[in-house]
Amino acid sequence: MTDPMTDPMTDLPMTDLIVCTALGMEARAVARGLRSRPDPGSDHPRVRVVRMGMGPGRAARAADLLPPAAALAVTGFGGALHDGLRPGDVLVATEVRSGDRVWPCPSAPLLAGELLRAGLPARTGPLVTSPRVVTGRGRHALAREGAYAVDMESAPLAAAAGTRPFAAVRVIVDTPDAPLLNLATMGGAVAARRTLARIGPVLARWAAATGPRRVLLASPRSFCAGVERAIEIVERALDRFGAPVYVRKQIVHNIHVVRDLERRGAVFVDDLAEVPEGAVTVFSAHGVAPAVREEAGRRGLRVVDATCPLVAKVHAEARRFAARGDLVVLVGHAGHEEVEGVLGEVPGAGVLVEDEAGVAAVVENVPRGRGVAYLTQTTLAADEAGRVAAAIRRRFPDAEGPRGDDICYATTNRQHAVRAVAAEADLVLVVGSANSSNALRLTEVAARSGHDGAPLARLVDGPGDIALDWLRGARTVGLTAGASTPGAMVDAVVAALGGLGPLEVEERRVTEENVEFTLPKEVRP
């Protein structure tokens, strides 16, 4: 039920969410958007909109008189301080500041992500509450302190929220270059009102996702030894040789890792033709075909090889099988860099099989009397790869597999760990990039491993990718990360979930990992 209010002294019954605004036009816009929600029903959160009046004094008095509510939000117009904000943009506060006090808003990434999916130009950053309208040099001073936007009401509401979920969302109407008392700025307020109407339903979804929950952390998770080694190789190359250092393909399949290394001076390329002759060049953890190494030699590149030693093992096995005349059947996914590198070792002697159905096609390509051997991509789901390997052995009883399990220890351990948490979870979140094979396989394993049917399992790059509807009713959330995902991204998800209500975090550890790999001689201390 939506009940727009203009008198904060009205005695209201308990609601799920109170949305506070300073101005009547803001309150009416938010209420209009809430009324237009599709399929309103009794299961939707009860939201009340309260107009407080303008300024911190009125906001503080209103805050003292607010009726009980499970969650509290403040929205309306705001002024930009950050150069990247323009009229019409939406700022979701990561924290609210006033004087020397700071109130964190940990669920901001979740809310900003939902606003972006709703088509609004949202971003996150600090919001400062001022006792008066700030102009000119005052704005520049606040910007130098790191604040993104300014308002006059959020701090008293943040203080009143206490331990309840709290959100502050501001639609930018003026900037340092376009001051508040300006005809163009006032005209932009009309568009800002339309944006406020669209913010209302998103705040309702945010409120529906609040509440106490438990997070089960799968362990091991995040970086494996091969990924840590590859990243350290690029970092050491930058320290030793200076920027730029060129990296063929993504060093590991994670956008956060890639962006961080780019900021330090790494340049990622798809083809060696993009690398200047003689430049320092790192081969990614996924390995390369011999033809790539030969090209690098012809162009005089100073190569540092970050191929994971476990991937290098598969390369060596492929060469061994091919040298004795076998057809090498590689179980893996087409287009993956590891697959391209392994097949490049055995031109004309290798074939890719992606699933059990693909095994039948191999039979037609094997001359009578030729031996068959098989290998697997290191980042596959162990159960799925096992089924394909069994299908190969049924067709070719004499087929020889690798001397040891190709699927790497880290992939296997993370899959065992995610099964342990999926068995208890309503929702499983796998943190990793969409091009990460091991993260994708973790998501698939989680979806097959739940109790009473599979739990909802979703791959996310960070908290901003988590749809609020997934969290509605999900009181136990399983959480893990692919082997190429920084642990800080898992921490960011936990922090964001903690902004939705009381959070109990438990770890489910299935094994310890103590594997270490040596660095190539080019970057050793």
Q: Is the peptide bond before 220 cis (omega within 30 degrees of 0)?
A: yes
Distance of CA 96 to the CA centre of its chain: 24
Number of residues assigned to the chain: 525
CB atoms within 10 A of CB 444: 17
Tokens of 178: 């376009």
The one catalytic residue in 95, 317, 337, 338 is: 338
Residue from 245, 223, 234, 227 nearest 309 by CA: 227
Beta bridge partners of 91: 123, 170
Beta strand segments in 194-353, E: 213-219, 245-248, 266-269, 280-283, 302-305, 327-331, 350-353
Q: Which of 196, 203, 205, 201 is nearest to 29 (CA)?
A: 196
Computed over its alpha carbons, how large is the radius of gyration of the chain?
28
CB 139 within 8 A of CB 81: yes
Evaluate whether 205 touches 469 at the Cβ level (below 8 Å). yes
Q: Are 318 and 324 in contact (CB under 8 A)?
A: no
Cβ-proximal residues to 347 (8 Å cutoff; 6+ apart), any chain: none
Query: What is the token pair recorded at 372?
Result: 């068959």
Question: How would you class 178 by CB atoms within 10 Å of its CB: exposed for 0-12, middle for 13-18, buried for 19 or more?
Answer: middle
Q: In what order do the strands lie in the sheet with 456-460?
A: 456-460, 427-431, 476-481, 213-219, 503-509
Residue located via tokens 């996702």: 209
Q: Is 444 a catalytic residue?
A: no
Could you tell me the sign of the dihedral formed by the alpha carbons of 5, 6, 12, 16, in that order?
Answer: positive
Nearest to 498 by CA among 466, 452, 520, 521: 466
Q: What is the Cα–Cα distance from 441 to 425, expressed in whole angstroms?
A: 18
Encoded tokens for 246: 């060129």
Tell me which amino acid residue 46 is: R
Cis peptide preceding 244, ω within 30 of 0: yes
For residue 78, how far is the Cα from the chain centroid? 28
State the pairing for strand pair 503-509/47-51: unpaired
Phi (first) and psi of residue 441, to 5 degrees: -65, -35
Q: Is 87 left (phi over 0), alpha (psi -120 to 50) or beta?
A: beta
Residues with active-site annotation = 338
